[in-house]
Structure formats: structure tokens, C-alpha cells
Amino acid sequence: MKRRPSKSASRTRRLPKCPTGIQGLDEITRGGLPRGRPTLVCGGAGCGKTLLAAEFLVHGAVRFGEPGVFMSFEETAAEITSNVSSLGFDLADLVRRRKLALDHVHLERSEIHETGEYDLEALFVRLNYAIDSIGAKRVVLDTLEALFAGLPNEAILRAELRRLFRWLKDKGVTAVITAERGREQLTRHGLEEYVSDCVILLDHRVDDQIATRHLRVVKYRGALHGTNEFPFLIGDDGLSVSPISSLGLNHRAPGGRISTGIPRLDAMLGGRGFFRGSSILLTGTPGTGKTSVAACFAQAAAQRGERVLFFSFEESPNQIMRNMRSIGLRLEQLVADGSFRFHAARPTLCGLELHLATMFKEVIAFKPAVVIVDPITSLLVAGTDFETKGMVTRMLDFLKSKQITSLVTSLTHSGHALQQSESAMSSLMDAWLLLQDVTGNGERNRVLYVLKARGMAHSNQVREFLISSRGIDLVDAYIGPSGVLTGASRVAQAARERAEALTSQQDSAGRKRALERKRELLEQQVAALRSDYEQEAGELRRIDEQVGTRTDLLTAEQTELARLRQADAIGKAARSPRRSGANSRR
Amino acid sequence: MKTRTAKRPDSAPRRRESKLWQLRLYVAGQTPKSVAAFSNLKAICESHLEGRYRIEVIDLVQNPQLSKGDQILAIPTLVRKLPEPVRKIIGDLSDTERVLVGLDLRSAG
């Protein structure tokens, strides 16, 4: 807590910095080298020390209006000029325009005899003269350690070096002093003892037969700086350090969507495919069809007229085209049209840095809308895990900043924890598709699912992934009580279900028929009963009629009888027995 | 100190017959070391190269551009321009033996 005020105070009067103009280095050092102070750049042979120094001067002269003096103790002016001309730096022209002074200090110990006291005043005079002649603001001393070889008296030399650095500071020039890497210390002759403001270490390491250059800011007095080791590369246009952590996360996110080339997959991704400019990771075990999905996506993009750049680290372009023909993708024509471009390289061809540089260059030259990297894991062999992650980050950031959609395939090994190896990479990815093997019932099938898709509703379903001569299709995987079924077992399961349905259909039809029969039977019975009843009723009617007739006859007879007997009350006597007779019958 | 020419060779030469020795002494201002170097050189030449030498003194403070030509770093530096090959002797020339060896006026050891 107590230190806080002093900290903020130091921040307010921050060190003035001198931009190097070297891509990435200014980001790591947050602005450049300490202005007006010497910086020590040390490293082994072939690390790029001289190049870094030369670039510092050239950028200073060309871009920042700061002329520079290059004092070389090893190479002649002509050698330096020709060395850096391959990187597009025309030193001779800068010298002509008085933006640069080249001075070669030649030292040959065999020519020198030491007799008594001396100092290096001539070197100071020389440097001073060179600085003043062009008004230099930057100075490079490459490599001061040559002095140790050329001058016999180390005590004098050390005293003079101390004086030199003091003098450089007083002169107010920003100096870069290169030195050979020492065995136990940073530099062979302990120059770091004198230059304490900023020390940059360059390193050229060979891991698994692949060389990668690294840069590390060992020390930067009075300023914050990135302390990591950063891979750097020497490309056609000079040195470029690729800081991993210093890249800002501020790329624009376009909202458009881009089809995957597989309709069902689009459907799984909210119906419209990936976001344009997003990065997509496609992981899978060997033989799950990663390249096929990638090629499908690429073809769809190219057919829409977008430019596609396909980085292949496993197969040659011809091989990919041939293989993709078998699933109905015709890439040859697109390649011939120029909208589709392959870049194939063996991962072991060069170090990671150079791969990255090449990819950057290709992307810048071809200006694609879609970039495929198949597979990114092949590059693992060209660098360590960390480096690969760093490289992927830089690559993706770069592509995103250019709003290029990137699809990166990654090989996982069966048996490995599936997500483990990619979890680091996945955090950088916007969408992650997983291709997986499902083995069972004597066959192997592929399934696909969307592990994540930032910013869109996506299906959580496992789909079976079919590759046929007509292309790629996704079908619903059967998910039943016995788990996910794919391939033949899915078909078998479907057949089984159909059979079951058929059986139950037949069953119900049978029942229906039985019921129908029953109904018919009942109806017959009803009809029989009815006819019985009809019969009986008919009989009854007949009987009734007979009874009526008989009554009538009887009445007639009685009437006749009464008439014969001359009775008065015929009607009454004759009617009453008839009514009672009818009642009893009913 | 201005450039000065020593006496013309007239007497019989002892070594490197009748050749004129051209010596160039680089200094930077009138420092004690420079003054010492000049007087030491003068003494050596007088005793070993009498009449056959010429000493040119170059003050780099006045002519800084001249340091490039002879690849001068240390001050003082004595350069033997002639006879060839060119030899360089650095220091205040106080060690006469080493100066003589350096100038090839006496073989080492």
C-alpha cells in the first residue's frame, strides 16, 4: 500500500521510448526501446542480432525520421548492405541520403602491438564524428565483443566500455549493442554489466530437429514489458515478433452467416450455418471425416463465389481433390477458376514460425473469405503445445481481424480424453464440432454433434454422419433404451420397429374382424329372435282374428237365437261375455 | 603538434638501407598520454632511425574523419606506413623494447 504512490509517480513520468518499428517488438516493450539509452541485444550465432539492429536503424531512418549510425566490428559496410538488401532494405541509398552512416571498424590483433597506456578515444571520436555528420539519433554497435578479441588489455577495454556507455547516454542517442551469448552469463564478456537499461535475449533453439527463434526481454529498467519468450521470425520483409498475449481482443464481429455446405448441419446451427468471420474447430478421431466436412464447407463457399484458401498439412492438393471426388465434391474446377487455392506443406518442413509466416503471407496475398487449416494438430510436431497454441491464437486473431472465416481441423486420438487436448484451443474458437466414432455390432459409424456455437441457438442432438458418393448427409441417430444406435443397428432398429408396428397393426385388424364377426352373429341372432317374434305375433293375430270371428258368429248366433226367442235385452247380454273374453286373453 | 618531417637520410643506413620510414602517430588532443607517446617516439627514432624517418602526427579531435582510414580505435596509435607491411602500435610507447619489436627494429626475443 505504501508503495503505491511511488508507483503511480513513476508511471506519470514514464520513460520516453524509441519505437523500433519491428513488428511485435514495440508491443512487447510497450512502445520501443528506452530512448537515449543503450540496449543490449544478445544471442548466439545466427540469431538475428545484426538484423534486429539493422532494422532498428532502417525503420528509424525511414519511418521515424531518426538517422542512425551503424558501427560494425565484424562485417564490412558492403557486407552489411548486401546482407540486408535481401530484406528490402537499401542501405546504400540511405547512406547517400545521409540518413544512415555505416562504419566498419577493422581490428586485427596480429597487427597490433601494445606498448604502454592507451585508451579508446579514437573510437569515441569516430563514433562522435559519425553521429554528428548526419545528426544521428540511433546508434548500433555490432558486435562490441570483437574488441575483446582485438585488444589485448581487458582491464583497459572494460574501463573504456563503461565510459562508452556513459558517453552514449550523455550523447542522448538510443543505442543497440549486440553481443554474443555467453555460456554462463548473458554475454560472453559480461557486457550486461554495463548496459543495464534494457536487455533483449535472442535465442535460436532446435527442438526435435526444428529450429525456432525466440525473443525475450530480460530486463527493461523502469518500464513494464512482456517477460515471456516470444517466437519471432525472419521473413522476406524483416524480423517480426509475434506476441501472443499483447494482441488486443477488439476485432469486429460481423453478423452475417455462412453455410456449412451440409444442409442438415446448417439446420443444427440455428438453420443458417456459422457466423461469418468466426473460427470453427472441427475435432475428431482418425477417419471421422474431418477433411470431408472441411472440403464440403470450402466447396460451398467457393461455389458462392468466395475465395477459399486451404492449408493442408497432411495431404497433397491432388490427393485431396481425388479423395473428395469420391464423395461428390468437385474441387478441380474451382481450383482452375482461381477461387480455390491449396497450400500444402509438410509440418516438418520448417519451424512453426516459418509456417506461420507463410500462412500470413498466403492469406495476405490471396485475400480469402474462408481459410481451412487441415489439420492444425500436424503442426504440433513442429512446435511445443504452448507454441502451437500461441500460433493458433495469432493465426486466428489475424484471420478474425481480417474477418475471414476459419475452419480448423484437429486430430484427437482415440483413447485420449476427448476434450482435453483441445480445451486450450477451444477457448479461442467460436464454434466447435465434434466428430466421433461409434463402434458396435461389428461396425464403426460416425456421429457428429455441435459442442459449442457461440451466439446462436444450436442443436444438442447427436446426428449420424453419413459419407456417400453423393456427399455428406446427417441423419437422426436412433436414441433408444439401449443407447445411441447408428449404422446397421440403427437400420435394424428401424426395421424392428416397423415390424412391431406391422404386427400390432395386423393384430388390431384381426380383432376388428373378430368383433365384426361377433356383431354379425349378434345381428343374426337378433334377426332370428325378431322373426320368432314376428311369427308368434302373427300367430297371435291369427288367433285373435279367429276369436273375433268366432265371437261374431256367436253373437250372430245368439242374436239369431234371441230373435228367435224374442228377447229384449240382446245387446247387453251378448256384449258382456265378449269383452271379458278379450281381457283375459291379453 | 603539427606534422613534422624529420631530417633527410644522409648518413649510412644501418638497417633497411636508405629507406625512409614513414610513421604516423594518432592522438586526440594534448593528453598526457599523447604527449608522452610523442616524446617516446621521438627518442626511439632518434636513436634507431636517425635521419631516416618522418613522423606525422594526426590529431583526431581536429580531424575526426581521418580515424577511419587507418582503422584507429586506440589512442595513441602509432602506424608504420613505410616500410611495408603496415604495423600498428598502441599505447604511449613507454615500453621501448616492445616498440622496437613492434616496429620491427629488433626481432622479438
Q: What are the backbone dihedrals phi and psi of residue A510, each rounded to the nearest 5 degrees, phi first?
A: -60, -45
pLDDT at B62 > cutoff 50 = yes
Residue A10 has pLDDT above 60, yes or no: no
Residue B14 has pLDDT above 60, yes or no: no
Q: How far apart are CA A133 and CA A155, in angstroms?
A: 31
Q: Taking residues A472-480, report their average pLDDT.
A: 76
- Per-residue pLDDT of A131-162, as tens digits, reads 999 999 999 998 888 888 888 788 888 888 88
Rounded Cα gap, residues A404 and A311, in angstroms: 14
> How much is the ipTM here?
0.81
* A390 vs A560 pLDDT, higher one: A560
Residue with cell 433404451: A481
Q: Would A14-241 and A257-485 be classified into the same CATH topology?
A: yes
B26 vs A388, higher pLDDT: B26
CATH classification code of A14-241: 3.40.50.300
Chain B residue numbers touching A107 (CB-CB < 8 A): 71, 73
More confident call, A505 vs A186: A505
Q: How far away is chain A from the Cα of B70, in angstroms, using its nearest Cα?
A: 9
pLDDT digits (tens, 9 = 90+) for A98-125: 999 988 888 877 778 888 888 888 888 8
On whether the CB atoms of residues A272 and A241 are closer than 8 A, the answer is: no
Contact with chain B for residue A119, Cβ under 8 A:
yes
Contacts B71 to A, Cβ<8 Å: 105-107
Q: What is the pTM of this model?
A: 0.63
Q: Which helix (H) or strand (E) holds A524?
A: helix A487-565
CA distance A471 to A374: 19
Q: Do B76 and A118 touch (CB under 8 A)?
A: yes
Confidence of residue A380 (pLDDT cuts 50, 70, 90): low
Residues whose CB is less than 8 angstroms from the CB of residue A83 and which lie 6 or more positions away in sequence, other chains included: A50, A51, A54, A75
User: Considering only CA atoms, which of A247, A237, A230 is closest in space to residue A59?
Assistant: A237
Can you give the length of chain B in residues? 109
Is A115–B99 a contact, with Cβ atoms under 8 angstroms apart? yes
| Residue A115 at interface with chain B, using a CB cutoff of 8 Å | yes
> Per the structure block, which three cell numbers stand in for A102?
555505416
What are the pLDDT digits (tens) for B79-107? 988 888 888 888 888 888 888 888 877 75
Average of per-residue pLDDT across A544-559? 84
Return the residue of B nearest to A109 by Cα.
B88
Q: Which amino acid is at A318?
A: N
Residues A26-54, mean pLDDT to the nearest whole number? 86
The CATH superfamily assigned to A257-485 is P-loop containing nucleotide triphosphate hydrolases (3.40.50.300)
Q: Cell triple for residue A63?
A: 519511418
- CB contacts < 8 A, A to B, total 99
Domain boundaries, chain A: 14-241, 257-485, 491-585
Helix axes A154-171, A121-134, angle to 10 degrees: 20
Query: Is A533's Cβ below 8 Å from some Cβ in B?
Result: no
Dihedral over alpha carbons B1, A104, A161, A28 (to 10 degrees): 150
pLDDT at B9 over 60: no
Minimal CA separation from A157 to chain B, in Å: 10
Grid cell in block for residue A558:
245368439
Yes or no: say if A552 and A581 are a contact pair by the CB < 8 Å rule.
Answer: no
Facing A122 at nearest CB: one of B77, B93, B102 = B77
Say whether pLDDT at B5 is over 50. Answer: no
Q: How many CB atoms lie within 10 A of CB A309?
A: 24
CA gap B94, A421 in Å, rounded: 72
Q: Is A147 on the interface with B (CB under 8 A)?
A: yes
pLDDT digits (tens, 9 = 90+) for A194-238: 777 888 988 887 766 667 788 888 888 877 776 777 778 777 777
Smallest Cβ–Cβ distance between A113 and the set B65, B75, B87 belongs to B87
Whole-angstrom distance, CA of residue A284 vs CA of residue B16: 87
Residue A387 pLDDT: 64
- Helix or strand or coil: residue A279? strand
CA distance A486 to A494: 11
B103 to chain A: nearest residue by CA?
A113
Residue of chain B with shortest Cα separation from A121? B75
Pairing of strands B87-90, A112-114: parallel
Interface test with B, best of A110, A121, A123, A157 (most B CBs within 10 A): A121
Best probe of the B interface among A74, A108, A113, by most B CBs < 10 A, is A113
Contacts of B100 in chain A (CB under 8 A): none
A528, three cell numbers: 332370428
Cell numbers for A437: 466414432
Domains detected in chain B = 21-102 (3.40.30.10)
8 Å CB contact of B71 and A115: no
Residue A347 corresponds to which cell in the numbers above? 509440418
Residue whose C-alpha is closest to residue A377's, from A408, A345, A341: A408
- Whole-number percent of chain A with pLDDT over 90: 13
Question: Residue A102: how many CB atoms within 10 A of its CB?
Answer: 23
Mark yes or no for CB contact B33/A117 under 8 Å. Answer: yes
- Cα separation of A557 and A554, whole Å? 5
